[in-house]
Structure 1
Amino acid sequence: MSTGNTIPISDLITSRPYTSRSFLRECPERDPVQFPALWYYPVQAKAFTICSLCYNTIIHGFESGCGISFGSFTGTKHQTLFCMFGRPHPKYLYKKGDFLALRTFMASRTGLKVTTCHGLGGANANLSTTWYKPRNGEINGMVSCEACYEDYIAHTSFSSRFEKSAPQPAGQVWACDIAVPLIRRTLEACSEGARNDWRVFVAATTHRLKVPACEPYKERAAQSTRWFQPKDSLPGFIICEACYLDRIASTCIQGHFTSTPLSSGQIQHQKSLTCMLSYFPMAIAVQEVIFSENFQLWCEAAKIFMHEELCDGTARKGKSYTLIVKDGTGDADFNICQSCYTCCIDLFGFGSHFKQFDMKTHTEAGIAYSDWACDFYPTRYGFSKYMDALNEAVCVREFSVLGDFIARYQGVTQPCPRSTFVKGRRWYGTSDFSACPDCFEETIQGTALESMIVVRNQFKETECSCDIYSPSMRGIWKNACDTYDYAGFVELVRHRASVYWQTVPVMKRLLSQQRIRLMQQQTLNGSSMLYQRLDMSASASSSINYSGYSQPRYTYGAADVGYGYASTYGIEAARLGQQANNLVQSSRSDTTQVPYLEALWEAVE
């Protein structure tokens, strides 16, 4: 790997296979699809979803031979779907020609209590997941969820080496170890065909479970793990063992990397190191290079990444990339750094849709550009939505998916305000209702009634609140789209607004008054106690002892609080205490109204 001049990424991108919504570029075997795409299913087991890639490259043309009838449907936006055929077990049965067993498997697989692995995030005990483990404790601590056991183990010779685990204790979270990429790849390689290499699988899995996890974007002690680097020189580019094993080992690019033992001198000089694959842009680049099998593409992206300032999400000046707006109305309120542009945009052939400009300069009018932060940094608000749009654009080879989303979502930096009125935000909607950009994307965009929205990503200085945040309103919008009844939706929105103004402001006023009264009550009680102590002191200094009993020389009182106080302090203490009690009584009468008003609002919220 030369560290000289870089080759433009666009020159290295070869022609890609045709992809579309009816022919995905990759099988979503474990990474779900949440965008509209064509799916297939066996008529006998409609919940057994098959992606268009698997259907078109494996099944299509042989349907009659396998004796299985298939149907199709188009998934909806935000519907989470996996390809259940892309996993080893059904593929094994299909290639073997055992179609009776395949039909049985398809029907039984969709009947599991938990049909999808919860991945490295783990599953709570209340999900009642059935777990499997290696017999006799051969791999200490390893577990597989039932879904992964059926998909990756049950059809292999390794199935006899697993048994059901004891029930998951309440309160514990268990993560399926088949979700660890190296373990899954090793399982498939060692259990296939005549290889049946259980020892290698045990050794690899046992070792992987002991390797400390990568810490994204963080430095770690140099001696805390093993390190790897590219065989060709790329100074400073190092990878922790966990990332090497899960992202690179047993892939087409494994041969380009080597272990990097650190000498005692290096450890003393570099006490802490950061894994380069823990940075989001490089993680994306590795995935794409493995898919394209073009290692030089990764080399050039890595050179740029190492040469540029690290993406850290902080405000900065300097060069950024932004979207070229289709209608030429101006620059989008969207910025990404050089590293993210290279690895997330240019690497996928989308570079021509962006332009670079230097924000160290001034506009033609002499106004200085403000600082900017990369919108592709993981902690930036809206990051997950940008990534969903990028993933969809890549999977179906439609840049407009990402470009249109950026145009709609640009400038959004804060979450939905819900029913709270806020100033200085961007909004969608009509004269009857408003939706924040998040709720527009999640509920309205792409639906049958989207064309009714006339206000689009408009910045408003005036106060506004979101009307579409609640599950109830989202359901009402969906029903309106299903029946194409926009007038009915508007009628319900207006009724909701009427109830809001009759309840929420009143509740806020009552609760605010209650808080004020509580503070007043606390002040009055504190003052009353102070005067009580003063009264007790006055009583002690002016009392006469009669046969062992102390009594004040004089007593004080008033008609409103009674008599018998040792001083005027006692009268004041009693009056303050009385005022505090009166505040409590008045607060009780007001607070009884709040639950009633709250119930009215919640019924339409």
Structure 2
Amino acid sequence: MPISPPPAEVQQPTPVPTTVQSQDPMANLYTQMTNLNMNPVDHNVAHQPSVRALHDDAPRPPPLIRATGQPLEVVTYCPETRAVDYSLYWYRLPDLPDLLICTRCHADHIQSTQLASKFEKIKRPDNFNSMCCFWFPRVKEVIWPQAVRTGNMDALHEFLKKRLNVKTCKGRNSTTASNGIKWFGMTGNEINGFISCEACYEDRIAGTPFETRFSPYREQPTNEQWSCDIATPFISRVVVKKAKEDDWAGFVSLATHRLSLPKCEGRDIQSNDCTWYMPRIKIENMRACEACYLDRVGFTRFEKEFEKYVMPPGFDSYFEHMTQFWSCKLNETNLPLVWALENAIEQRNWSVFSSSAEVACRLPPCTKNGIIRGNWWTVQGGCDNFDVCETCYVSVLRTSGVAQFFEPVQRNPEATLVCDFCVSSPRFRQYLRKYAQSVDLGVFSYYLDYVRTFASVPVCPGLDVVEKGHWWGYPNALFCQDCYLSFVTDTKLGDSVVLKKAYDERAQICQIWSSRMRTMWLKVCDAGPPGSPESEEKLAEFIEFGGKRLKIYTQTVPQMKFIREMKLMKMQNAMHQGLLSVMYNGMDGLASISGTTDGHLHGNSQLGWYETEQGAQGAQMFNNMQAGFASANRADEWMQIFQLERIWKEVE
């Protein structure tokens, strides 16, 4: 729905090369968890089972996930919206080389048809984002069955060609007009302001009985931010189901109700502030707000496992619920239980979730604040700097069937540890990527080897300086250990760097973490064999540029950081003065109403006159707040930051 006005624009990181338009694979972590779909393993199974041949209501046998061995040629599950940036086999139509189909979708829907010979198998290299284009509901449920019946793939070609040029849905994240997204709204305006991005319209609405119910929406103003309503998980399922039934009124009713619900923040709230759903078979502390219940469970096989909580009648019950505070356990911030629920849905087994929730709901939550005196697990064989809390062990590892690759470990009971499956842990994204790769390929060593290699390696400092550190690379072009192991070592010149684990007490920065420097390094590696004149010439240019970049860094980045930190301090002090002003004005008001003033006026001609000293102090603090905000937002300082950033970006 349209939102106005927009907040300040946030600069996005440079994406890796891709052949399919895709959103940042980590922009929506819930989507990442959903599409991993990791199930238990059965080590007695010799071959990868064909799970899609079973009846839809039958429990699925677990996929094969081994400690080591050859990777599976058919991935365990379709990655759907998850972009895969490691090497995998894919299928495609020869005349549409940029549109890929995962081996899972090919095995389940294409391989056994007379059209299978129309597709070719390829292998994509590492570091290129690849996404499956077959999982779209319109392809899988409308266009492809029709193509199989008629033997004609013209409709599939037409759709995929058009779909390649459609901007990717940004989910529930607000987007501005600069993103160039086309919008569709309800022709009859049955839900005021309801809009769908072009991607969701093409994937879920076009080609169905609902297509005539939508039409192009008005152009998005530059000062407004809009978000796609179809991207709401519950609505995305409802629109597909109701379109099959040609039940427009049913869709409108359900979508209207979902959009009327307040957003769940995952915080403790009064228990009577919203409608709650709880498991029919009680699980202590397990409850979900209505919004999260619909998005996670609504129109899934487990929706009847929950029931609406009805508050007992009477004043005593009402008063009790006013003093009780509950939190939603299915909010996207509670990733372990969300992950467990997705595994249970994929496995068609409610006990997978319920057994996990019974334990997890009694444990401290896995958050960035860490856990004291908890039970911990690490990878099999031990790893000093890798820890998994009990909540994630029972909700993620055990429900995913990889618990056998982990073992209990004793940690300092007085230390506050952050779980490595927490989104706030330094290497969460890298670990998640390797975890997904291990499940896709059915070989867990991809994850285990990465953890053992990088758990003790400090994360790349990026723009921050490091004192008393070890460095690789060349003088004026230093590489931190993280970047050396994860990037440089696999390149042609990785073994021939001059410095290897060189200790330096001075403050230094890593020079190879940015996309520009990595691109330059790859050009050096491609210039010629190590030691050749061509290679040496390019290497000298790279080192020279590194020295120039370092010089500009010292002149710009520290100064920008200092100005921003000072602005933040001024802003915080101004807010503090504002809070004190409110407090003193309240004291002034109470004294005036109760008649406890001293009969004198307080203040001065500039400040004003007040009945109490507290009133004068409140006015002074209010003035301090205004002056502080004005100082924190001085235009000349913002201009200075802008100028420094422009200089830095010339080499960055």
TM-score by length of 1: 0.72
Structure 1: distance between partners of 2:201 and 2:500: 48
Structure 2, unmatched stretches of 5+, are 1-39, 44-58, 66-70, 560-642
Kindly tell me: are residues 54 and 439 of structure 1, through their superposed partners in 2, closer, same or farther at Cα, counting changes over 3 Å?
same
Distance 1:289 1:498, change over 3 A: same
The aligned residue for residue 355 of structure 2 is 300
CA distance in 2, matches of 1:346, 1:16: 13
Task: Rate the CA distance shift 1:378–1:509 in 2: closer, same or farther, 3 A.
Answer: closer
**In structure 2, do the counterparts of structure 1 residues 332 and 426 end up closer, same or farther at CA, with 3 Å as the change threshold?**
farther
Distance across 2 between alignment mates of 1:121 and 1:247: 18
Provide the C-alpha distance between the structure 1 equivalents of 2:355 and 2:557, rounded to a whole number of angstroms: 61
1:393 aligns with 2:448: no
Aligned to 1:118: 170
Residue of structure 1 in register with 2:448 after alignment: 403
What is the identity, as a one-letter code, of the residue corresponding to 1:228?
Answer: Y
Question: How much has 1:384 moved relative to structure 2?
Answer: 2.6
Distance 1:445 1:101, change over 3 A: farther
2:78 to 27, 30, 40: 27
Quick check: 287-296 or 486-495, which moved more?
Answer: 486-495
Query: Is residue 359 of structure 2 the alignment partner of residue 314 of structure 1?
Result: no
Q: Which amino acid aligns with 2:285?
A: G
From 320, 338, 343, give the equivalent of 1:288. 343
> How far apart, in 2, do the equivalents of 1:503 and 1:234 lie?
58
Which of the residues 71, 89, 92 maps onto 2:120? 71
Any idea what the Cα deviations from partners look like across 1:377-403, whole Å, max 9, x if unmatched? 222333233222222223332222222
Could you tell me how far 1:253 is from its partner in structure 2? Answer: 1.5
Number of residue pairs the alignment of both structures matches: 496
2:279 aligned to which of 215, 230, 251:
230
Structure 2 CA distance for partners of 1:265 and 1:31, relative to 1, 3 Å: farther
Q: Does the 8 Å contact 1:33/1:81 carry over to 2?
A: yes
> What's the CA shift for 1:296?
1.1
Which residue identity does 2:369 align to in structure 1?
T
In the alignment, does 2:329 pair up with 1:276?
A: yes
Deviations 1:543-590 (A, max 9, x none): xxxxxxxxxxxxxxxxxxxxxxxxxxxxxxxxxxxxxxxxxxxxxxxx
1:304-343: CA deviation from partner (whole Å, max 9, x where unpaired): 20232222333444344343466xxx63311121001222
Q: Which residue of the partner structure matches residue 193 of structure 2?
A: 141
Deviation, structure 1 residue 38: 1.8
Q: How does 1:315-354 map to 2 (within 5 A)?
A: 315-324=370-379, 331-354=383-406
**Which residue does 1:247 correspond to in 2?**
296
Which segment drifts farther, 132-141 or 11-20?
Answer: 11-20
Percent identical residues = 25
Does structure 1 residue 82 correspond to structure 2 residue 131? Answer: yes
Instruction: Assess, with a 3 A threshold, how the Cα gap between structure 1 residues 275 and 429 changes in structure 2: closer, same or farther.
Output: farther
Distance apart, 1:260 and its partner CA: 0.7
Give the CA deviation at 1:449. Answer: 6.3
Question: Structure 2 CA distance, aligned partners of 1:45 and 1:502?
Answer: 44
Compared CA separation, residues 159 and 503, structure 1 to 2 (3 A): closer
> Match of 1:587?
none
For residues 39 and 141 of structure 1, what CA distance do their matches in structure 2 show? 40
Q: Deviations over 1:2-59 (max 9, x none)?
A: xxxxxxx999998523585632222233333333222222122222221111112211
How has the CA–CA distance of structure 1 residues 179 and 462 changed in structure 2, closer, same or farther, with 3 Å as cutoff? same
**Bigger radius of gyration among the two:** 1
Q: Which residue among 226, 244, 256 is the counterpart of 1:206?
A: 256
Task: Read off the aligned partner of 1:111 and give its amino acid letter.
Answer: N
Distance 1:360 1:235 in 2: 29
What is the CA–CA distance in structure 1 between the aligned matches of 2:374 and 2:41, rounded to whole Å? Answer: 20
- 1:99, CA displacement in angstroms? 2.0
* CA contact 1:68–1:103 (8 Å) conserved in 2: no
Distance in 2 of aligned mates of 1:395 and 1:289: 18
2:514 is equivalent to residue 470 of structure 1: yes
SS at match of 1:301: helix
Provide structure 1 residue ranges, at least 5 long, that are not aligned to the other structure. 1-8, 362-368, 514-594
Give the letter for the 1:318 counterpart: R
In angstroms, what is the RMSD of aligned CA positions? Answer: 3.8
3-state secondary structure, aligned to 1:156: coil
User: Deviation string for 1:463-501 (max 9, x for gaps)?
Assistant: 543121232221123345667755566764554444555
Cα distance between partner residues in 2 of 1:512 and 1:161: 55
Separation (CA, whole Å) in 2 of partners of 1:131 and 1:149: 8
**CA deviation profile, 1:242-277 (whole Å, cap 9, x unmatched):** 111011111121221111123464553344210111
**Structure 1 residues 604 and 124: alpha-carbon distance in aligned structure 2, compared to 1, 3 A threshold:** closer
User: Is the 2:527–2:535 contact (alpha carbons within 8 Å) kept by the matching residues of 1?
Assistant: no
Secondary structure of the 2:184 match is strand
Per-residue CA shift, 1:93-134, capped at 9, x if unaligned? 22112522222222222233x2x2121223321122111011
In the alignment, the residues of structure 2 paired with residue 121 and residue 38 of structure 1 have an alpha-carbon distance, to the nearest angstrom, of 32
- Residue pairs, 1:503-542, within 5 angstroms: 504=550, 508=554
| Structure 1: distance between partners of 2:155 and 2:552 | 65
Secondary structure class of the residue paired with 2:98: coil
Measure how far apart 1:61 and its partner are: 4.3
**More moved, 74-83 vs 283-292:** 74-83
SS at match of 1:119: coil
TM-score, length of structure 2 as denominator length: 0.67
Q: Which has the higher contact order (CA 8 A, sep 6+)?
A: 2
2:467 to 394, 398, 423: 423
